[in-house]
Chains A and B, each alone.
Chain A
Amino acid sequence: MYTYNDFDENFIRERNAQFRAQVERRIDGSLTEDEFKPLRLMNGLYLQLHAYMLRVAIPYGTLNSSQMHKLADIADRWDKGYGHFTTRQNIQYNWPKLKDVPDMLDALGEVGMHAIQTSGNTIRNVTADHFAGAAADEIEDPRPVAELLRQWSTDHPEFQFLPRKFKIAVTGSPNDRAVTKAHDIGLRMVRNDMDEPGYEVIVGGGLGRTPVVGKVIRDFLPKEDLLPYCEAIVSVYNLLGRRDNKYKARIKITVAENGLEKIRELVEKRFGELRPEFNGFDQNLLSKIEAQFAPPDFRTASTNGYDAHRAANPAFRSWSDTNLAGHRAPGYAIVSISLKAHGATPGDATSEQMRVLARLAKDLGHDELRISHEQNVILPHVHKSDLPALYATLRDHGLATANIGLVSDIIACPGMDYCALATARSIPVAQEIATRFDELKLEHEIGALKIKISGCINACGHHHVGHIGILGLDRAGVESYQITLGGDGTETATVGERAGPGFSAEEIVPAIERLIAAYLDIRESHDETFLETYRRVGLPPFKAALYPEKEAANAA
């Protein structure tokens, strides 16, 4: 893992001291809200429906145990004893007091963390595959490059006032777990014909009001050209992106309005100017960063105990079937720990749970944790012989829910329970769907299914790429939920199709139930997933299930 050097530490300390003075000046009246707002946003501090909210960056979703312990301490000391992990691998505190925020930032600084550029029209937290460095299918660990991008983009003088926010995601695997095609820049590690590693560069993806699947601007970019090429893209966008209309300001609109060809031409031209300025310093830095991401010392041990425990314990077997993923090291597994206990708030962890996770990471997981964009916690490196003990501890703390990738593993944004931008609530819908399908005991029968819920058109809940997407809107003063179907956030990214008119808060869970009943009815076999069935048969049978009255009227 990357450890801050003196430069990083001084930078954070200085920045926190500046913000402390700005908060003092706001409280004593020397700064107006108009003056203060851009300053607080630069430091991740929002004002929401019921309180301030502090969004803390977890760069590329990677944490060590002392950082996780610190997040727990902050939750207890300055918040209400919990934190909310987000779809951008950040953590949000929902209840800080304005005067306490500088102390919270200093506490974060003690473990090499901050909240810089988690808001505002800047390059945001760089996200990455949450299985990075562990996945069996990986070409290379994307985190050193994500860290290089983080260092390049943090406080980059040219990119502090972009037309709009700018998000970059990186994956080192052909199986895209980082939703790279829904980012302003998506980077996928690939190999060329000569077997050299490089990147496929995707530009102009995004969800929100205008969902767009990103387009490939360069199919192979040599590794050493990454920073100048990214700088060229952002620099072209900085000049060409629209500043007259907030809703047309993201790079996806710039690409749509100018055409990919013109953008590519401008980027290549700018790249030609910038490339000579990158004379190797960045690559030296990268190799130093790479050294810090050296794989842990994987141990060799028997997995007989694990196999025996699996055979003897059905609950453990069920959990290991859903929550484990293939690791590159023999005898190891990647453990996904669900923050989606049935009926709980997706992505929330109590301080006690955070401490349990930190201890498990320290004792059994080579001191590493990850936060996934699906709002779960990952222990990327656990030897299978340790899984029975790990599972027992997780179970004692409400962390052993065996539902990764299933119907109750729902992404939900905070919605109108917290967010000032929301048009409807998301959390209660997620809670009710999960509770209902737990009652029905159908979860494992249904199999792989991604439900994603957003409480407004900005789509923080990624509803466009949910197999079932739910968008909460305000329709004439009433919460109304619109369903989209067939979305996909992986390497085969697709924007979901709108199913029809929305449902009220009371109708939405029964509607989802009808939808899933229809799927169970029409799938060809137990192995055909919801998404595969949808791709095979299309919208009509699902529409008929959602709107039976209309169907009856048409038939009459």
Chain B
Amino acid sequence: MSRRPFTPKVVTANDLLEGDAVWLTSDDQWTRDISEAELIEDEAIAQDRLFFAMSQPNVVVGAYLAESKASDNGPAPTHFRETFRTRGPSNYAHGKQAGV
């Protein structure tokens, strides 16, 4: 049975208190900048990192693995939904884009 090759992922969730998008870094911290996240290229490691995220229910909510790709500036989203999560809504300069 052929399996689709594993594609790179980041672990992402929403912050419990603020509710905004956060990403897991390689040193077990949560960052608000996806480019600082850990880009995971191995399926077993991805599962392991997701379990780690899920073991922090008092820090984050709804952790999941999101498709991502390497860029010159660290991990970057591949799907438009994940892109929106890195910046905020398109009708006002609110959310993460407000701080840029």
Contact = CB atoms under 8 A, between A and B. Distances in A.
Do A and B interact?
Answer: yes
B71 interface: no
A51 interface: yes
B62 A47 contact: yes
B19 A427 contact: no
B9 interface: no
Contact of A98 (B19, B78, B89, B91): B19
Q: Is the interface of B mostly helix, strand, loop or mixed?
A: loop
B17 A98 contact: yes
Contacts of B92: 80, 345
A477 interface: yes
B60 to A, nearest CB: 9
Given A33-B57, A33-B61, A33-B62, A416 B19 contact: no
A99 B80 contact: no
Contact of A417 (B19, B61, B78, B91): B91
Interface string B57-100: 11001100000000000000011110011001111101110000
A27 B17 contact: yes
Contacts of B90: 417, 425, 427-428
Q: How large is the interface on B (under 10, 10 to 19, 20 to 34, 35 or more residues)?
A: 20 to 34
Contacts of B78: 477
B27 interface: no
B84 A52 contact: no
B18 interface: yes
Contacts of A477: 78-80
Given A27-B17, A33-B61, A33-B62, A478 B80 contact: yes
B25 interface: no
Nearest to A422: B81
Contacts of A99: 17
Nearest to A99: B17
A416 B81 contact: yes
A33 B59 CA distance: 11
A26 B18 CA distance: 13
Interface string B1-21: 000000000000010111111
B16 A50 contact: no
Contacts of A425: 84, 90
A427 B91 CA distance: 7
Contacts of A348: 91
Contacts of A431: 91
Given A29-B58, A47-B62, A428 B19 contact: no
A95 interface: yes
Interface in A191-208: none
Interface string A38-70: 000000000111111000000000000000000
Contacts of B16: 26-27, 98
Contacts of A444: none
Contacts of B18: 51, 97-98
Interface string A327-352: 00000000000000000010010000
A97 B19 contact: yes
Nearest to A423: B81
A477 B78 CA distance: 9
B85 A50 contact: yes
A51 B19 contact: yes
A131 interface: no
Contacts of B21: 49-50
A487 to B, nearest CB: 25
A99 B58 CA distance: 13
Given A97-B17, A418-B89, A425-B90, A50 B62 contact: no
Nearest to B61: A33
B91 A52 contact: no
Highest count of chain B CB atoms <10 Å: which of A50, A95, A99, A427 = A50
A49 to B, nearest CB: 6
8 contacts: A49-B85, A50-B21, A80-B94, A95-B94, A99-B17, A416-B80, A417-B90, A431-B91
Interface of A: 26-27, 29, 32-33, 47-52, 80, 94-99, 345, 348, 416-418, 425, 427-428, 431, 474, 477-479
Given A48-B19, A50-B88, 8 more contacts: A32-B57, A33-B57, A50-B96, A51-B19, A97-B19, A345-B91, A416-B81, A479-B80
- Pairs A-B, 9 closest by C-beta atoms: A417-B89, A52-B19, A51-B19, A29-B58, A50-B95, A345-B91, A427-B91, A33-B61, A428-B90
